Structure 1
């Protein structure tokens, strides 16, 4: 059992150990494998392929396993490292601690959005983008997108999602009009702004975080650790609620074979959502 901490509570030494482990994964080529994996499984509603990672009920369990695999890789470098979480409802400005020089570095410069500060700046020589959304080799950020301003989600936005007692609803994709999953994933749902929560954070950061290769920005992991924590909070708030769909869809359902029910093995690990409902034997949030 280990703990995942709020990034604002990390010591200077903990930050350095996390950064050093991430940089070691990058040097080994392992980090870019994680980026490529996310790109491969970023399947949209319009695709006819199975959809395990996004716009789908398995959004939460798929990313839980993905974070666990990344954490395992980090711990192979430094056994004491865990993935911290970023509560973007509180630390919601470009001046927040995670954007410091000694941690993730700051915003991109105005000319090309290239990140010039911190350990992941291209000029430092340790962070070259190889699977990004543009031909640029450098990490890009556009915090708040001043040209068309975006704000981070608020506590009220999160509370609205947490109050929904139903996990997910048909048609089990980006246009589901209710349900906790899409309220958090945030593809635009009744009673919210156009995009919400998870998606709005990706948009607020912009740059490298704005596409399928979003793990190119290490803040991805802190963002998704918080998404994982929100799933945990929803489970505690609704102890009788269950993952849906809880059984394979009917043969005439257009989503059959495309979304993953409770006991359908998810690629690439062949693990079922039912095996990822409870993390408490592995880690806790503090």
Structure 2
């Protein structure tokens, strides 16, 4: 049966409670930390050798679609009626709006150490201890807006600019790519200040704390953010009928991206599925 991912601001109190309960149970079972480890393992940058799939590559979108589906399946093993809601950061832009309420994700970290003190994922609640990370510390951290060097969430106009690009991705298919929907959405910018990080990337930096870097999955906000990013891929496909994932074919042996990115019909680790097979999700879920 096809299920629905809803805007987090529209969830009822019961739906919020069920989502939180399922997340905490996946954490208690030890499954959640496996998701954190996987994201750390696949957080490969341009400067590293070998294959890139999760970031700085065309497969950014299908990789995270698979990742979201895995988490959703784990949640549904706890409660079949739960799905991942999405956070529209072009609209819900304040520190107290959804999803930062006490009955959902909790709020900002305190100024002294960025520790999240409110909500069900606060360390004091005893159910959300950080076990897998790139820094020390057992508690979840956030730093909304990066007060010492302020940064703003992306605007509707900035997201629209990415959606307007009719080409999925272009050479060299990495963080330096200046054209194509994928990097305009992923957000490896080339300016200064806020322009250094665009759309997806800037949201990670606005939330701050654990949302920075490969261990960002430690913050449950990761999933709501990526559900909204996933929705943008769907919207882009609707806007540009017939547009497909690129590259269609693997780069040649003389290309700098040879064996470093996944072409449309190549298998994408760790699932062994192709980006082409992930282009249509209508048989699995839909967006409200």
TM-score range, shorter chain: over 0.9
Aligned residue for 1:105, secondary structure, equals coil
Residue 81 (structure 2) aligns with: 80
Residue 106 (structure 2) aligns with: 105
Residue 272 (structure 1) aligns with: 274
- 1:183, 1:189 within 8 Å by CA — same for their partners in 2? no
Q: 1:43 offset after TM fit, Å?
A: 0.4
Say whether residues 1:201 and 2:203 are aligned partners.
yes
Cα distance between partner residues in 2 of 1:219 and 1:228: 14
Using structure 2 for the length normalisation, give the TM-score: 0.98
Residue 247 (structure 2) aligns with: 245
Deviations 1:210-260 (A, max 9, x none): 110101000000000000000000000001212110011112111111100
Cα distance between partner residues in 2 of 1:131 and 1:5: 29
> RMSD of aligned C-alpha atoms?
1.2
Q: 1:49 offset after TM fit, Å?
A: 1.6
Gaps of 5+ in 1: none
Q: 1:112 offset after TM fit, Å?
A: 0.1
Q: 1:189 offset after TM fit, Å?
A: 4.7
Aligned residue for 2:195, secondary structure, equals coil
Using structure 1 for the length normalisation, give the TM-score: 0.98
* Residues 89-104 of structure 1 mapped to structure 2, 5 A cutoff: 89-104=90-105
* Residues 92-241 of structure 1 mapped to structure 2, 5 A cutoff: 92-189=93-190, 193-241=195-243
Aligned residue for 1:284, secondary structure, equals strand
- 1:178, 1:189 within 8 Å by CA — same for their partners in 2? no
Q: 1:195 offset after TM fit, Å?
A: 1.1
Cα distance between partner residues in 2 of 1:106 and 1:198: 20
- 1:190–1:116 CA distance, 2 compared to 1 (3 A): closer
Q: 1:56 offset after TM fit, Å?
A: 0.2
4+ residue segments displaced more than 3 Å: 189-192
Deviations 1:78-110 (A, max 9, x none): 000000000000001101121111110000001
